[in-house]
Structure 1
Amino acid sequence: MNAFGSVRLSYQDETPADRGPRGELWARCSQSRTAAGKPTGKPQWRLVNAIRQRETMEQLRCQVGFCPAETDQGYIFLAGAAEDASHGAGEPVRTAQPPVCLTHLRPAIELCPHLRKGHVAFRARATSAWGVIGSRYRLTATGLEPLPAEDDDAPVAYGHPQLGWFLASQLVRELRDYEVVNLDDLVPTT
């Protein structure tokens, strides 16, 4: 139950770190870190670590090196080539892919099988947290029940009435004031 008396999904031993700033419950997972607190290891593209993804998106850090991702003209976000056709020109773009710094643009494409098949790069001057991707649950007479898995990829916006029954695994950002850019203009090939 939250501060307003509403029933919502929770951990029995929940801590403040389990919830995001808008009250969303986050999936728990382990993560190795250096003594300085930086995540270790290479990203595993098909096995998204909810903690690493959330931190890179909240802090706008590079998804490969966890270094600051800001450039002098905004943030670079990569998407698969098919995703470019899914939105109209000038419409906001929503993505669960963290930004990439200029140093790691080419390695990100080389490491990610999805991006090697084709990609588009967005340079965004304005971006904000929009919602989450994860698993939806409902309370039944016999306890908690997950909703069908085909709904798992659909992002849920912050403020959605069902957000309290959602276990978040990825943060979604909305890109505004962006342009599609050519990687060769950002990082010349060597």
Structure 2
Amino acid sequence: MTAPGPRPPRLLPVPAVALWSDQTVHVPQLRLGSQGIYSTGPEMRDADGLLWPQVFGPETGEPLYAVMDPLKQRRAMEEFRCQVGMGPATRTPLGVLWALPLLRGTDEDPPRDWEKGVLTTEPPVCLAHARVAVRKWLRLKEGYAAFFVQEAELYAIKGTFYPPPPIGAPPFRTTRRLDDPEARLMVADLLVRRLKKATPIDLSDPDLTRDAAPCNRLSREKTS
């Protein structure tokens, strides 16, 4: 009798905000106008009028777990959607669920100041998919902490800044607040929220996730 072979590893869903290898993030040719930078062709702008890149290509090939699709990241952050399933993130009386990289307390990576507010580009998660996020995203795989957050203000964008003439400096990556006039000189690729009033939780607690349903299944049930 032949002994059974090893059981194949359980497949986990690819986070919905991950970019795929067959996709391309495209920044159109830019011009400088009185209101900031603009494209002479089709543009992708958000509700604040800020410029975003375009994403072309099918979600095929290999998932790039270290890279987020800028348009899906923006949608997840704007609408409090789970970064894995793109359904509603878990929300309780304590707030919305976030899993954030574990900090090391160095000068480059200082402890979080929740009174001042914690800036993050990580979208929220639902309880059922939280374990996928902490296994698949590179920053979270190196260590994470989970919180229910009561205040999550849309605060800034990260992206490429295009200095206007006469400076003539090359473009560079930076962060600008949403109300900063210089944000009009950027192509954004990540939306930033400022988090406050956080309650830490333990995602390894089985009682916390035992009855949690995947957020995308809940979304399908509501529309059926």
TM-score (norm 2): 0.67
CA positional deviation for 1:89: 4.2
Amino acid at match of 1:27: P
Deviation larger for 132-141 or 103-112: 132-141
* Structure-2 change in CA distance of 1:159 and 1:96 (3 Å): same
Maintained 8 Å contact 2:155/2:194: yes
Q: Distance in 2 between matches of 1:70 and 1:56?
A: 13
Match of 1:109 among 116, 134, 141: 134
Q: Distance in 2 between matches of 1:122 and 1:31?
A: 35
Q: Which entry has the higher C-alpha Rg, 1 or 2? A: 2
Deviation larger for 69-78 or 83-92: 83-92
Of Structure 1 and Structure 2, the greater strand share is in: 2
Amino acid at match of 1:166: M
Q: Structure 1 stretches of 5 or more lacking a match?
A: 34-39
Amino acid at match of 1:76: L
Q: Structure 2 stretches of 5 or more lacking a match?
A: 1-32, 211-224
Q: Distance in 2 between matches of 1:125 and 1:41?
A: 38
TM-score (norm 1): 0.77
CA positional deviation for 1:82: 1.3
Maintained 8 Å contact 2:119/2:195: yes
Q: Distance in 2 between matches of 1:130 and 1:41?
A: 33
CA positional deviation for 1:56: 0.8
Maintained 8 Å contact 1:56/1:62: yes
CA positional deviation for 1:28: 1.4
Q: Deviations over 1:87-131 (max 9, x none)?
A: 224331111000010110111111123212111112112212111
Amino acid at match of 1:92: G
Matched positions, count = 171
Task: Give the secondary-structure state (helix, strand or coil) at the position aligned to 2:54.
Answer: coil
Q: Deviations over 1:65-101 (max 9, x none)?
A: 1111032232111211117843224331111000010
CA positional deviation for 1:169: 0.2
1:75 aligns to 2:96 (yes or no): yes
Amino acid at match of 1:134: G
Identity in percent: 27
Aligned to 1:36: none
Maintained 8 Å contact 1:96/1:170: yes
Of Structure 1 and Structure 2, the greater helix share is in: 1
CA positional deviation for 1:162: 0.8
Q: Distance in 2 between matches of 1:83 and 1:157?
A: 26
Q: Deviations over 1:119-152 (max 9, x none)?
A: 111211221211100000023369x76433xxx2
Aligned to 2:67: 47
